[in-house]
Amino acid sequence: MKIYMNDRLVDRKDAKVSVFDHGLLYGDGIFEGIRLYDGCIFKLDAHLERLEFSAKAIMLPLPWSRAALTEAICETCRANKLKDGYIRLVVTRGEGSLGLSIKNCEEPQLIIIADKIQLYPEEFYKNGLKIITVPTRRCNPSALPPAVKSLNYLNNILAKIEAQHLGYHEAIMLNDQGYVAECTGDNVFVIHKGKLITPAASAGALKGITRATALEIADKLNLPWEEANLTRYDIWVANELFLTGTAAEIIPIVEVDARPIGDGKPGPITAKFLAAFHAIVTKDGTLI
């Protein structure tokens, strides 16, 4: 396997970062998870724009243009002879001294990994997933903005640990006001009384690329949508529920906190979203 490091491809065994890299020492850095479908990178521009915004938010100047990053990503996919897979783009603050200051981190590090993806089993898409709400709250946006896709995922990891400890694969995280923020690695959507509702970024949701795609699909299906505060009650009484994420795509949820959602089976509108999503993934992309 070839990994892209800074300005070139190297063998996996040579793809190493310094122990003084602030990405390792402090989770100081940003990343993107991107999908490759049939030789086509899905919504690459949107991912690179989010990366640029994350970089700006944490004052990490990116020395690479969008065109250079696009070429590096395509080159990594081609070198690994991938047609379908998952691309992990990481930018760390780079090597510095032992201390939080960013002042002596002069060279951000770029890492691009392109590999096969381990999807949820097919039965989850057919029969739906059961999830729970966990005690760990999503970071307050004024502490660590959840819109920044940073290397600091401990908040989500704590929630994931709680979910897995109880035998679940995903979990709903609330914000510090008790409203639904998102799941540990996915955005949440409710369908209720003919409307699609999802928490806003200000409630603690990442501005997911798949989330934006779901909103585009809602427009195509003539389904009205809004961003709104959702309580656990709104989740429990929803007609349908689904999650979105680059890795999970669109996944129906059939139970939350031991309450069946709708009739406890993936709903008919969710099925339309899944079909529409699969129809566009190879059309809205950058050819490698």
Query: Cα separation of 184 and 171, whole Å?
Result: 6
Beta carbons of 34 and 49 less than 8 angstroms apart:
no
13-52 footprint of ligand PMP as x/- string (CB under 6 A): --------------------x-------------------
Q: In the complex, what is the shortest distance from the CB of residue 264 to ligand PMP, in angstroms, rounded to a whole number?
A: 25
Residue 211 interacts with ligand PMP (CB under 6 A): yes or no: yes
Per CB under 6 A, which region of 85-93, 111-119, 159-167, 179-187 contacts ligand PMP?
179-187
Q: In the complex, what is the shortest distance from the CB of residue 207 to ligand PMP, in angstroms, rounded to a whole number?
A: 8
Residue 186 interacts with ligand PMP (CB under 6 A): yes or no: yes
Quick one: CA dihedral 246, 247, 253, 259, positive or negative? negative
Per CB under 6 A, which region of 20-28, 52-60, 205-213, 267-275 contacts ligand PMP?
205-213
Q: Which amino acid, residue 227?
A: E
Query: Cα separation of 93 and 27, whole Å?
Result: 9
Query: Cα separation of 31 and 273, whole Å?
Result: 27
Does the annotation mark 160 as catalytic? no
* 202 token code pair: 């200000």
Query: Cα separation of 65 and 83, whole Å?
Result: 24
Closest of 29, 126, 108 to residue 64, by C-alpha? 108
Per CB under 6 A, which region of 13-21, 191-199, 226-234, 238-246 contacts ligand PMP?
238-246
Identified catalytic residue from 2, 43, 130, 149: 149
**Sites for ligand PMP among residues 149-168 (CB under 6 A):** 156
Per CB under 6 A, which region of 64-72, 73-81, 84-92, 243-251 contacts ligand PMP?
243-251
* Residue 128, Ramachandran bin (φ over 0: left; ψ between -120 and 50: alpha; else beta): left
Beta carbons of 247 and 42 less than 8 angstroms apart:
no
Q: Determine which residue in the list 96, 185, 252, 285 makes contact with ligand PMP, applying CB under 6 A.
A: 185
Q: In the complex, what is the shortest distance from the CB of residue 132 to ligand PMP, in angstroms, rounded to a whole number?
A: 17
User: Residues interacting with ligand PMP, by CB under 6 A?
Assistant: 33, 156, 182, 185-187, 206, 208-211, 244-246
